[in-house]
Structure 1
């Protein structure tokens, strides 16, 4: 049951690090099991200037958790009068999930971020009750994550520039999605650098 509900709406996300840049990408499909309902479903949300979170799992819970996290981050920036850092965002998210551990949200999450002063990059992932991960080079969640991870490890190399990072992330995602019926219909890729965020849409197989 637990596994089925996680895969009910499909969808996948992947994040990868470069040199002073970090990328996150997700597919655009929203479906109910094998039936596609929409091809423009947002799974990546922005929090602060250099922080993004991707949510995969049950679509209603994705939107609920994204909104609750937005409320908490806004409150934090108002109270503290300072910008959100990636590790603070990750702590807030894991706390939010762990509070509901006895009736958990059906979401898996990826958090990425970049420190604009130092250029340090962050990628964290979490399960649906807020288990904490280390800062990693590559992470993926969702129905196609098994297919993406192997290829992602093959394509990843240290200190990629933004263009190389975009290419590696896109290829890993698209190839993984092609092997999974519950995700697809194109993708969106965010590449975060110190001074800008580049968003690109990818065309995928339409079947």
Structure 2
């Protein structure tokens, strides 16, 4: 089992953290190098806490779908598209679900033209969490997930400052 995962939203940036422990049960540690955060492209990261075999299976499915999208569309998948795709994959397996609690974090690209007529891109942070059947919960502050989420939620509530800068 993979125990905890959390994400913080700051002013125009995000922070991602997870433990690296892979355990057979509560008391047995198999590995201390099992990452649960995966880079899907330059603007999208997914964190998966839960059953290790389901984490690996779901990651491979997501990696395949993202690669297929990029080949067919000749463009990177944006974070909202990825979030909807993940929700659809989880919901399609609702009768034999993957035992994972995903969190998607990334940047929504907002294209605009400034006062001088130059094209600019604004990166807006995006955070969303899911249950195991794909129900999304979008947020603007922080997300915690995993077995220790109750303890992490209290810590995050006490440490979180709205619109905090990354320093």
Q: TM-score, normalised by structure 2?
A: 0.89
* Residue 74 of structure 2: aligned partner: 81
Distance across 2 between alignment mates of 1:79 and 1:156: 40
Is the counterpart of residue 69 in structure 1 residue 62 in structure 2? yes
Q: Which segments of 5 or more consecutive residues in structure 2 lack a partner in the other structure?
A: 110-120
Measured against aligned partners, the alpha-carbon deviations of 1:133-171 in whole angstroms (never above 9, x if no partner) come to 1233110111111100111011111222223xxxxxxxx
| Bigger radius of gyration among the two | 2
Measured against aligned partners, the alpha-carbon deviations of 1:64-107 in whole angstroms (never above 9, x if no partner) come to 00110111011111111222211111111111111100010110
Equivalent residues of 1:110, 1:126 under 8 A apart: yes
Equivalent residues of 1:10, 1:32 under 8 A apart: no
Displacement, 1:115? 3.0
Equivalent residues of 2:3, 2:147 under 8 A apart: yes
Is the counterpart of residue 126 in structure 1 residue 133 in structure 2? no
Equivalent residues of 2:80, 2:108 under 8 A apart: no
Distance across 2 between alignment mates of 1:160 and 1:122: 16
Q: Report the number of matched residues.
A: 155
Q: TM-score, normalised by structure 1?
A: 0.72
Q: Which segments of 5 or more consecutive residues in structure 1 lack a partner in the other structure?
A: 1-8, 164-207
Please identify runs of 4+ aligned residues in structure 1 that moved more than 3 A: none
Is the counterpart of residue 32 in structure 1 residue 24 in structure 2? yes
